[in-house]
Amino acid sequence: MTQVIFATIIISLIIHCITIPVGQKFTSTKLTVPLPIQFDLICVTEAALHSLLGALTSETYDNPTQNLEREQALAKQFAEILHFTLRFDELKMTNPAIQNDFSYYRRTLSRMRINNTPTEGEKEVNNELANRISLFYADATPMLKTLSDGTTKFVSENKNLPIENTTDCLSTMASVCKVMLETPEYRSRFTSEETVSFCLRVMVGVIILYDYVHPVGAFSKSSKIDMKGCIKVLRDQPPNSVEGLLNALRYTTKHLNDESTNKTIKSMLQQQ
């Protein structure tokens, strides 16, 4: 589980990198390290996701609840990655110029190569990596896409593992978060609003992953996630603190607009 430990350690570094004011990142090649670092570590995070899902969906225990109870440390690391994912994408959306700035950096590098200008001792980004970074940041919610694709890949590569092992793990985590947030007794134990935000992001994260890997998604009648309850929990929070999470459910899920989606659920999400 070395990848899991490493991914957890670097999460705060990535958040720090993306919160640096955009203008500081690309004024010289010396300040271009953050984006490549983010991209490399995001790849590590995806690998860690597979390791965590493998442990949390194994058939060692009788049901997903037992898995989560017996593997609480790993469940916490999985939750940390989900929290990071939603937070990263929120920050990315508040930095709309990030792609343009990276394009500016690439043009600057190109001119420096033509003029044989030294790059201040820093290792420049090669074209292949630059193309991958550009493609990554072109998505509105790049980390959610990375995790959704990664979870789908995990399921497809582990055909001997019942898909219910994965979906039940995700739905159980969504239920735990919802109950903690809506029950006054549990909610009163939260020591800060950041803990509330953590639970909200994890809840939304597992809903989105569930919607991608479950055959009919999170919004159908057969879904094991109480979507009405989860949306109500989000609606009960200050609007400015959850608008990004509601938008994630509106625009990054797979099955919301299916004909089988409960009209009440769709209406609850669409209302402003």
Q: Give 67-111 pLDDT, tens digit per residue.
A: 899 999 999 999 999 999 999 898 888 877 777 777 777 787 777
Give domain status of residue 114, yes or no: yes
Q: Give the pTM.
A: 0.82
- Please give the pLDDT value at position 100: 78
Residue 95 and residue 54 share a domain = yes
CA–CA gap between residue 177 and residue 171 (Å, rounded): 10
Residue 138 and residue 166 share a domain = no
- Counting as low any pLDDT under 50, the low residues of the chain are 1-33, 121
Residue 173 and residue 268 share a domain = yes
- Please give the pLDDT value at position 201: 97
Give domain status of residue 154, yes or no: no
CA–CA gap between residue 173 and residue 170 (Å, rounded): 5
Q: Is 225 helix (H, G, I), strand (E, B) or coil?
A: coil
- Please give the pLDDT value at position 254: 95
- Please give the pLDDT value at position 11: 44
Q: Which one-letter DSSP state was computed for residue 20?
A: S
- Please give the pLDDT value at position 29: 41
Residue 212 and residue 136 share a domain = no
Contacts with 106 (C-beta within 8 Å, 6 or more apart), sequence order: 125, 130
- Which residue do the tokens 């500081």 mark? 24
- Please give the pLDDT value at position 119: 58
Give domain status of residue 209, yes or no: yes
Give domain status of residue 53, yes or no: yes
Residue 127 and residue 20 share a domain = yes
Closest CA to 212 of 147, 270, 161, 261: 147
Residue 126 and residue 169 share a domain = no
- Please give the pLDDT value at position 111: 78
Give domain status of residue 269, yes or no: yes
Q: Which one-letter DSSP state was computed for residue 226?
A: -
- Please give the pLDDT value at position 30: 41
Residue 24 and residue 70 share a domain = yes
Q: Which one-letter DSSP state was computed for residue 222?
A: T
- Please give the pLDDT value at position 144: 92
- Please give the pLDDT value at position 117: 67
Give domain status of residue 152, yes or no: no
Residue 92 and residue 37 share a domain = yes
Give domain status of residue 3, yes or no: yes
Expressed as residue numbers, the domain containing 224 is 162-272
